[in-house]
């Protein structure tokens, strides 16, 4: 049956990693996929994860199925992390959290859930957004629309146009928001802007769907939940897709969660029953290991402290690389003001490098950048930064 069927295109980001792996040049640099790398260019297992795995190895007595919604201790730990331990959402019991296979799985479970009840709604994504948002919500059956977000002139947020666009979004449509560390631009809303957006959401009745894949990579775990707190305080329906791929380095353990927040505990319990149906008819119940590890870390004070320190180490290294890149490009005499790279947050920046520059870096210097010029700052190290800056200078001549 496959003879007459055209192959599907590769994922633009994951496909780049395949190309990178094949490259034999020892100087090669991967600024593509959003995976953290340390100063040695490795993506290590965090020490807190190793310690939790040791506990698990010694204490785990069964590999029997988890419940459909995952381990209740995990859901509780996730809620404390995303809302804050003393949140009213938790004490009121008005959120349902289900362990999902990664942030992608969480988005898809949420999308399938919403599509069951509002199949005619549109899903609004930022322009630009993580390419897989289109894929995930499209696969769930939704029509996708775009709202203004990034301003190529200022290399910042076009908040006025964003608000104008979101003013027109009808009630029950879904608006996907990056809770922090916007992928691909690195441009976030400030606190006042999040407040205004939460007011707009509650006035208009559209459903915010927060993609929270980088908690801890902006300013810190507590600081980065600001957006979630604003929608929680508004008392409206919204969803949060958490991923622990980046902040726990649990990429291949597929560790995430979908949280549906509602105005009341009774509604949360109805939502939970339907999330379980979505999960049961998709993959039945989640993979256990990553969730168990994250729960041990979050619920053990010493391991939690260790985690926060390791996470701060990752965050601070990226900030240092942002500074080094701006300084390095200036030292190479590259034309233009690159200070915006220091203002952007999280793993990514829109470098502003043209397609010609991106392809020249790839061809001549074995430096891999996603089309459109998004760079993963974590791919930079003190050993490769000079090479990258010199290569960019040559490519831009
Ligand atoms: N959402 C965004 C914005 C991301 O960058 C990622 C990255 O992987 C995800 C969701 C998916 O997370 P996961 O790898 O846990 O599926
Ligand atoms: O944007 C990134 O690089 C990360 C990793 O289909 C990723 O979010 C990229 C593409 C994809 C899944 C994960």
Name the residue at shortest CA distance from atom 2 of ligand 2: 34
Give domain status of residue 151, yes or no: yes
Is the domain of 179 the same as that of 74? yes
Give domain status of residue 231, yes or no: yes
Gap from CA of 280 to ligand 1 centroid (Å): 22
Instruction: Please compute the mean of the pLDDT values over residues 156-162 and round it to a whole number.
Output: 97
Is the domain of 36 the same as that of 71? no
Cβ(334)–Cβ(392) under 8 Å?
yes
Contacts (Cβ under 8 Å, ≥6 apart) of 150: 126, 127, 128, 156, 157, 158, 185, 187, 350
Task: Report the C-alpha gap between 278 and 297 in whole angstroms.
Answer: 28
Is the domain of 216 the same as that of 290? yes
pLDDT recorded at residue 10: 83
Q: Report angle CA 24, 29, 34 to the nearest 5 degrees.
A: 120
The response to whether residue 366 sits with its C-beta less than 6 Å from ligand 1 reads: no
The response to whether residue 275 sits with its C-beta less than 6 Å from ligand 2 reads: no
- Of 43-52, 136-145, 344-353, where does mean pLDDT reach its minimum? 344-353
Is the domain of 236 the same as that of 357? no
Identify the three-state secondary structure at position 239. Answer: strand
pLDDT recorded at residue 336: 87
Is the domain of 182 the same as that of 277? yes
Atom nearest to 244 CA in ligand 1:
15
Name the residue at shortest CA distance from atom 12 of ligand 1: 103
Instruction: Please compute the mean of the pLDDT values over residues 140-150 and round it to a whole number.
Output: 98
Pocket probe for ligand 1: among 107, 126, 130, the residue whose CB has the most ligand atoms within 8 Å is 130
- Of 172-176, 200-204, 308-312, 353-357, where does mean pLDDT reach its minimum? 353-357
Find the domain containing 346 and state its range.
Answer: 14-44+316-396
Give domain status of residue 82, yes or no: yes
The response to whether residue 130 sits with its C-beta less than 6 Å from ligand 1 reads: yes
pLDDT at 397 over 90: no
User: Which tens digit of pLDDT belongs to each residue from 349-382?
Assistant: 999 889 999 999 999 999 999 988 999 999 999 9
Q: Given 299, 331, 354, which residue is the final one in a domain?
A: 299
> Which CATH number belongs to the domain containing residue 159 in this structure?
3.40.640.10
pLDDT at 21 over 90: yes
pLDDT recorded at residue 11: 83
Residue 157 parent element (H or E):
strand 156-157
ipTM above 0.85, yes or no: yes
Q: How many domains does the chain have?
A: 2
Q: Which candidate in 158, 165, 211, 237 is catalytic?
A: 211
Nearest to 297 by CA among 47, 62, 117: 47
User: Which tens digit of pLDDT belongs to each residue from 72-126?
Assistant: 999 999 999 999 999 999 999 999 999 999 999 999 999 999 999 999 999 999 9
Contacts (Cβ under 8 Å, ≥6 apart) of 185: 128, 149, 150, 344, 348, 349, 350, 374
Is the domain of 181 the same as that of 251? yes
Give domain status of residue 339, yes or no: yes
Give domain status of residue 4, yes or no: no
Is the domain of 110 the same as that of 226? yes
Left, alpha or beta for 181 (phi > 0: left; psi -120 to 50: alpha)? left
Q: Which candidate in 130, 194, 307, 353 is catalytic?
A: 130
Q: Given 267, 299, 331, which residue is the final one in a domain?
A: 299
The response to whether residue 240 sits with its C-beta less than 6 Å from ligand 1 reads: no
Is the domain of 287 the same as that of 320? no
Task: Report the C-alpha gap between 80 and 139 in whole angstroms.
Answer: 31
Nearest to 49 by CA among 258, 324, 229, 255: 255
Identify the three-state secondary structure at position 258. Answer: strand
Helix residue spans in the chain (DSSP H):
14-22, 47-59, 72-83, 88-91, 102-117, 131-139, 159-167, 191-204, 226-234, 265-280, 289-299, 301-331, 340-343, 355-365, 385-396
DSSP 27-87: T-EE--S-----TTS--PPPHHHHHHHHHHHHH----PPPPTT--HHHHHHHHHHHH-TT-
Is the domain of 342 the same as that of 246? no
pLDDT recorded at residue 138: 98
Percent residues over pLDDT 70 in the chain = 100
Give the closest ligand to the alpha carbon of residue 246: 1
Residue 344 gets which letter from DSSP? S
Name the residue at shortest CA distance from atom 2 of ligand 1: 213
pLDDT at 222 over 90: yes
pLDDT at 303 over 90: yes
pLDDT at 12 over 90: no
Is the domain of 104 the same as that of 247? yes
pLDDT at 5 over 90: yes
Give the closest ligand to the alpha carbon of residue 10: 2
Gap from CA of 270 to ligand 2 centroid (Å): 32
DSSP 348-383: EEE----HHHHHHHHHHH-EE-BTTTEEEGGG--TT
pLDDT at 233 over 90: yes
pLDDT recorded at residue 312: 98
Give domain status of residue 250, yes or no: yes
Cβ(369)–Cβ(351) under 8 Å?
yes
Is the domain of 282 the same as that of 365? no
Answer yes or no: 130 catalytic: yes
Task: Report the C-alpha gap between 325 and 335 in whole angstroms.
Answer: 14
The response to whether residue 11 sits with its C-beta less than 6 Å from ligand 2 reads: yes
Q: Given 270, 299, 328, which residue is the final one in a domain?
A: 299
> Which CATH number belongs to the domain containing residue 386 in this structure?
3.90.1150.10
Name the residue at shortest CA distance from atom 1 of ligand 2: 34
Instruction: Please compute the mean of the pLDDT values over residues 125-137 and round it to a whole number.
Output: 96
Task: Report the C-alpha gap between 365 and 110 in whole angstroms.
Answer: 41
The response to whether residue 256 sits with its C-beta less than 6 Å from ligand 1 reads: yes
Percent residues over pLDDT 90 in the chain = 95
Phi, psi of 93 (to 5 degrees): 65, 30
Burial of residue 383 (number of CB atoms within 10 Å: 0-12, 13-18, 19+): exposed
Give domain status of residue 211, yes or no: yes
Q: Is the pTM of this model over 0.90?
A: yes
In order of 202, 262, 263, 273, 385, the CA distances from 90 in angstroms are 20, 11, 12, 18, 45
Give domain status of residue 1, yes or no: no
Is the domain of 234 the same as that of 114? yes
The response to whether residue 13 sits with its C-beta less than 6 Å from ligand 2 reads: yes
């Amino acid at each position: 049956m496959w003879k007459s069927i055209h192959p599907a295109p590769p994922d633009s980001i994951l496909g780049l990693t395949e190309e990178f792996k094949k490259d034999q040049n020892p100087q090669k640099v991967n600024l593509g996929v959003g995976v953290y790398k340390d100063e040695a260019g490795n993506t290590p297992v965090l020490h807190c994860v190793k310690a939790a795995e040791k506990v698990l190895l010694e204490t785990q007595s069964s590999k029997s199925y988890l419940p459909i919604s995952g381990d209740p201790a995990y859901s509780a730990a996730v809620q404390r992390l995303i809302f804050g331990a003393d949140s009213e959402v938790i004490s009121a019991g008005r959120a349902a959290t289900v362990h999902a296979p990664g942030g992608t799985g969480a988005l898809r479970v949420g999308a399938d859930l919403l599509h069951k009840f509002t199949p005619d709604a549109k899903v609004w994504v930022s322009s630009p957004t993580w390419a897989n948002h289109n894929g995930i919500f499209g696969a769930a059956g939704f029509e996708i629309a775009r709202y203004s977000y990034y301003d190529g002139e200022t290399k910042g947020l076009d908040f006025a146009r964003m608000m104008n666009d979101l003013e027109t979004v009808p009630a029950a449509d879904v608006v996907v928001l990056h809770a922090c560390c916007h992928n691909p631009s690195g441009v976030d809303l400030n606190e006042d802007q999040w407040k205004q957006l939460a007011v707009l959401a509650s006035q208009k009745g559209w459903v915010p769907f927060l993609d929270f894949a980088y908690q801890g990579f902006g300013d810190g775990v507590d600081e980065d939940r600001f957006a979630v707190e604003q929608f929680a305080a508004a008392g409206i329906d919204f969803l949060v897709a958490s991923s622990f791929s980046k902040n726990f380095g649990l990429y291949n353990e597929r560790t995430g969660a979908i949280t549906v927040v509602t105005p009341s505990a009774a509604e949360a319990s109805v939502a939970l029953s339907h999330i379980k149906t979505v999960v049961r008819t998709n993959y039945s119940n989640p993979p256990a290991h990553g969730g168990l590890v994250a729960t041990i870390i979050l619920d053990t004070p010493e391991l939690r402290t260790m985690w926060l320190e390791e996470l701060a180490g990752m965050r601070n290294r990226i900030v240092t690389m942002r500074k080094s890149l701006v300084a390095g490009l200036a030292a190479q005499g590259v034309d233009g003001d690159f200070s915006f790279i220091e203002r952007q947050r999280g793993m990514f920046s829109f470098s502003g490098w043209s397609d010609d520059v991106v392809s020249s870096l790839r061809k001549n210097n074995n430096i891999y950048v996603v089309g459109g010029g998004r760079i993963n700052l974590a791919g930079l190290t003190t050993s490769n930064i000079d090479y990258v800056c010199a290569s960019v200078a040559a490519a831009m001549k």
